[in-house]
Amino acid sequence: MLLLRPPGVYRAQGDTSLLRHVLRERGRNGEFVGRSVLDVASGTGALGIEALRAGAASLTAIDLSRRSVAATWLNSRLHGIPAVVLRGDLFAPVASRRFGLVLANPPYVPSDTPSPPRYRMARCWDAGPDGRLLLDRICAGAPAVLDEDGVLLLVQSALSGEQATLDRFEKAGLVSEVLMRARIPFGPVLRSRAHTLRDRGLIGPDQTEEELVVIEARHG
């Protein structure tokens, strides 16, 4: 997929590819036909565009970064999709709306700081000491933006706690499960933090790969 990516916008990588694969596989069964889509932390807009290709009817995308908002808008138009692209904090811009499909590839990498930087590229992946700064908020806020039969698909690293995500969804009243797993080599960010992550017990002494998981959540 051709995607424009201005400087400072997250590059579609293994996590994006894994969730796009799930969208394509589920889309073959017609599961997303006619659904309204919300793409949170949209980055380049790759996931929302894939959902429309899988049969969804409309796309609303949200990102806190002005550059990511611009990238999503440009890429959606490049692919002939009249997406509504909003700048804001997670679900805040659509607090009064509900969607049939919610997509999320948020920052989830454990970092040394309690909050991500505001103006550096690291804001695309830093998510607090346990990597759950945004994951927990997405789990808590998801029920309010999902249609009665809506589906949320989220991708994250196992380093930031897949069971914690399942537990958070359960606490929010949603039924969730892991749909897919994939192991990928550490990228530049994790390689640069490997020593710190080992010291904190988040990775093994010889670990050079991380596991990505796609989690589905829906109303029970």
Q: Is residue 9 part of a domain?
A: no
Structure confidence at residue 194 (pLDDT): 80
Predicted confidence band of residue 172 (pLDDT cuts 50, 70, 90): very high
Q: Is residue 144 part of a domain?
A: yes
Per-residue pLDDT tens over the stretch 78-112: 999 999 999 999 999 999 899 999 999 999 888 87
CATH code (residue 75): 3.40.50.150
- The count of structural domains within the chain is 1
Structure confidence at residue 218 (pLDDT): 97
Q: Is residue 169 part of a domain?
A: yes
Structure confidence at residue 205 (pLDDT): 86
What is the average pLDDT value for the chain, to the nearest integer? 91
Q: In DSSP terms, which residues pair with 99 in a beta bridge?
A: 146
Per-residue pLDDT tens over the stretch 115-141: 666 656 666 677 788 889 999 999 999
Per-residue pLDDT tens over the stretch 8-66: 887 888 899 999 999 999 988 889 999 999 999 999 999 999 999 999 999 999 999 99
Predicted TM-score (pTM) of this structure: 0.93
Q: What is the domain range of residue 27? A: 14-219
Of 16, 19, 123, residue with least CA distance to 66:
123
Q: Is residue 174 part of a domain?
A: yes
Q: Is residue 2 part of a domain?
A: no
